[in-house]
Amino acid sequence: MSSVGAASAASKPQDPTPADPSAIRNVVMVGGSGSGKTTVVEGLLVAIGEIARAGSVEKGTTVTDYDDAEHRTHRSVGTALAPVFFEGTKINIVDAPGYADYLGDLRAAIRAADAALFTISAVDGVSGATRALWDECADARLPRAVLITKLDNQRADYDAVVEACREAFGPAVLPMMLPLYKSEAEVGGLMDILTGKVADYTSGSRVVRDPQGDEVGKLERNRESFIEALVTESNDEDLLDTYLEGGELDGEMLRQDLGVAVAGATFFPIMPMTAPGGIGTVELLRLIKDGFPSPLASPIPEVATPSGVAVEVSCDPKGPLVAEVVKTTADPYVGRISIVRVFSGTLRADSTVHVAGHGTRPDGSANHSDDERAGTVTSPLGATQRPVPYAIAGDLCAVAKLGSAETGDTLSDPAKPLIVAPWSPPEPMLPIAIKAAKAADEDKLSTGLNRLVSEDPTLRIEQNPETHQMVLWCMGDAHADVTFERLAEKFGVPVERVAYRVPLRETFTQKIEARGRHVKQSGGHGQYAVCEVIVEPRPAGSGFEFVDKVVGGSVPRQFIPSVEKGVRAQMAKGVLAGYPLVDIQVTLFDGKAHSVDSSDAAFQMAGSLALREAASKAPPTLLEPVTTMTIVVDDEYVGTIMSDLSSRRGRLTGTESIAGGRTMVKAEVPEFEVVNYAVDLRSMARGTGSFTREYLSHEPMPSHRIDAVLAAAKEK
């Protein structure tokens, strides 16, 4: 028996392949950074004898770490998988990162799981970031339970954190177990409200006994509200009648009703655990086994044929193969490893599967559809891949050598291709301009970025045609830093950040007459072209118009298109600070030509010079892009957000109260002012805010801003 007796209650099978979906539980660990998710997973694995001690797997890494970046930052930065076996049940624990930059990984993990276990520190309590994570799971109607950690800290306060959970998440969040202290800051056991028993760990082993002394009153005070809520939310009429009549409630019926209430995502039990000491491991495993739904009780995403015809599938190992890639990792030496959730059928090692995706790939190619031979199927434990012959419906596994598979792709039978409706990754909102540290690495940079974007749908690459910059759109600075580390380590491409250029535009504000004169003579045929033009502004967004008003043949007809071509070329380059020139009309009304020395190239140059002269006579102005922003924050931060938007030259267009004590703020803000808003909002709203933005228009930039842009352009 282990120090907590967990090993005797759990058995580790030789073959980690369940025979039926009812023996599977898929649980995502959710919680803010530092709440103890990884420690809890390691504690469970230690308790069942899977690993010797926390941090003992492979070179001192933790069991859920996949990436060197995690060891350096001490923060989980990607979804990882650890299977735990308990009383004949395989529990796939998905450890999702809690940091806001990795919301995409959380959504992928939610897709893979059938329930969520929230870890909340008894020291730090419920943060705004934790509330935001709870909302993500609530939107997916994912069953949830709460695990309160770090109870062995001097500043831990279980009762206060329980009340904070109820205040943040609602009255249906109730403690199912209470900590039993043997000293002021040392937990000695747990009191189980559901069974009315005490799990006593004070002797070094887990001993189940009846409550004694003050324990009796404490259990009774908490049991009535818990049982009442459980009976109500389970919709069990027989149990409700028994409860109302004051009859004896059967423990097994209560346990069954716990599973029904939790599965309905209307009842959320709370329990404590001290992971380093192992107190609560057996109780947590039993809560997951008895209280969380199996894949058979979880809805399957919509499935259709490639032509869009809906297909009904069920969680049946004998059904058609339908599986989804929820995470991919690429290594230049090992190749691609795909974490896969099997929704229907059975995925076998070394079988041929159809791989299909949605949208466009990073390289610009359209929806892909390929038949590939899957490599080894494994039951992964962190970075350790343990081969299994197959994975049945409801299970999670890792698959090697699916070269074309990307996060979000569907695996199906090549004879009957199917596609799972995609989940929605969050839109990256932080633009970072980059370049390869060495010019010779430009091709390697594109290859590496395309590989990383296929793994992570919250990364987006943009080759901006106006600023001619390569822009990597990320979720935040931490997301960007890890991406750059992976580029350097996996693909040997160090990158440099460069100043991000907002795509400004130039335009004239007054009518001006100008001449373009290009005359050169250097022996033989020379170059001769003169054009007289009028440049005038057009309404915003109306574009460019070229007007021919030449009379008398002063500019030969064949060279009039040449003048327009030269004007357009100069407009693309700009005439003030190197930004495109827009919304003008250029009228060609006169000019001169030479019978021998005039040419198409000469009149193109003359048209270009005419625009430059117009700019020297009446300098154009700069236009900056304005975006429509929709920001959602907790009510307490609304004043801060609105004040900040005003300081950014924003125009407030409205506010709207939404459920959960939150407010939607809408404003129109110059993009110049919100380049780093993804980082700034997180700081202002303590991780609880989110926003979207959409291009509205280009508007004139204030003169003091123009001066700064021109000074920077001149220096460059």
Q: Which helix (H) or strand (E) holds 134?
A: helix 128-139
Contact yes or no for 657/663 (Cβ under 8 A) = yes
Percentage of residues of the chain with pLDDT beyond 70: 90
The vertex-30 CA angle with 265 and 631, nearest 5°, equals 85
How far apart CA 78 and CA 482 sit, in angstroms, is: 10
Contact yes or no for 277/184 (Cβ under 8 A) = no
Q: How many CB atoms lie within 10 A of CB 87?
A: 13
pLDDT at residue 475 is higher than 70: yes
Provide the β-strand partners of residue 559: none
* Contacts with 130 (C-beta within 8 Å, 6 or more apart), sequence order: 31, 32, 35, 118, 120, 168
How far apart CA 133 and CA 324 sit, in angstroms, is: 23
pLDDT tens profile 299-336: 999 999 988 899 999 999 999 999 999 988 866 566 78
pLDDT tens profile 227-258: 888 888 877 777 777 777 666 676 677 777 88
Confidence of residue 72 (pLDDT cuts 50, 70, 90): very low
Q: How much is the pLDDT for 79?
A: 62
pLDDT tens profile 559-616: 999 999 999 999 999 999 889 999 999 999 999 999 888 999 999 999 999 999 999 9
Provide the β-strand partners of residue 530: 517, 592
DSSP label at residue 57: B
CB-based burial label for 253 (10 Å; 0-12, 13-18, 19+)? middle
Q: How much is the pLDDT for 53?
A: 58
Q: How many CB atoms lie within 10 A of CB 75?
A: 18
pLDDT tens profile 693-715: 999 999 999 988 898 888 877 77
Q: For the chain, what is the mean pLDDT?
A: 86
The more confidently predicted of residues 247 and 202 is 202
Q: How much is the pLDDT for 100?
A: 81
* Contacts with 364 (C-beta within 8 Å, 6 or more apart), sequence order: none
pLDDT tens profile 135-181: 889 999 999 999 999 988 888 899 999 999 999 999 899 999 999 98
pLDDT at residue 369 is higher than 90: no
pLDDT at residue 4 is higher than 50: no
pLDDT tens profile 600-627: 999 999 999 999 999 999 989 999 999 9
pLDDT at residue 472 is higher than 90: yes
The vertex-289 CA angle with 29 and 80, nearest 5°, equals 30
Among residues 199, 296, 271, the alpha carbon closest in space to that of 40 is found at: 271
pLDDT at residue 59 is higher than 90: no
The pair of structure tokens assigned to 446 is: 């594109």
**3-state secondary structure string, 549-609?**
CCCCCCCCHHHHHHHHHHHHHHHHHCCCCCCCECCEEEEEEEEECCCCCCCHHHHHHHHHH
The vertex-250 CA angle with 246 and 256, nearest 5°, equals 120
How far apart CA 403 and CA 434 sit, in angstroms, is: 27
Provide the β-strand partners of residue 436: 495
* Three-state SS at 260: helix
Range with top average pLDDT, 93-107, 162-176, 520-534 = 162-176
Least confident of 220-229, 266-275, 284-293, 536-545: 220-229
Domains and CATH numbers, the chain: 6-177+265-297 (3.40.50.300), 303-420 (2.40.30.10), 430-498 (3.30.70.870), 505-619 (3.30.230.10), 623-715 (3.30.70.240)
DSSP code string of 287-338: HHHHHSPPGGGSPPPPEE-TT--EE---S-TTS--EEEEEEEEEETTTEEEE
The pair of structure tokens assigned to 58 is: 């492979």
Confidence of residue 55 (pLDDT cuts 50, 70, 90): low
Confidence of residue 526 (pLDDT cuts 50, 70, 90): confident
pLDDT at residue 121 is higher than 70: yes
pLDDT at residue 499 is higher than 70: yes
How far apart CA 555 and CA 530 sit, in angstroms, is: 8
The pair of structure tokens assigned to 620 is: 């154009």
Q: How much is the pLDDT for 141?
A: 93
Q: Which helix (H) or strand (E) holds 216?
A: helix 214-234
Provide the β-strand partners of residue 57: 61
The more confidently predicted of residues 15 and 581 is 581
* Contacts with 304 (C-beta within 8 Å, 6 or more apart), sequence order: 310, 311, 418, 419, 421
Among residues 123, 85, 90, 97, the alpha carbon closest in space to that of 28 is found at: 97
pLDDT at residue 114 is higher than 60: yes
Contact yes or no for 580/543 (Cβ under 8 A) = no
59: left (phi over 0), alpha (psi -120 to 50) or beta: left
How far apart CA 402 and CA 405 sit, in angstroms, is: 5
Residue 588, CB half-sphere, CA atoms under 13 Å: how many?
32
How far apart CA 138 and CA 153 sit, in angstroms, is: 30
pLDDT at residue 550 is higher than 90: yes
Q: How much is the pLDDT for 204?
A: 83
Contact yes or no for 340/398 (Cβ under 8 A) = yes
The more confidently predicted of residues 30 and 68 is 30
Least confident of 60-69, 105-114, 402-411, 532-541: 60-69
Q: How many CB atoms lie within 10 A of CB 237?
A: 9
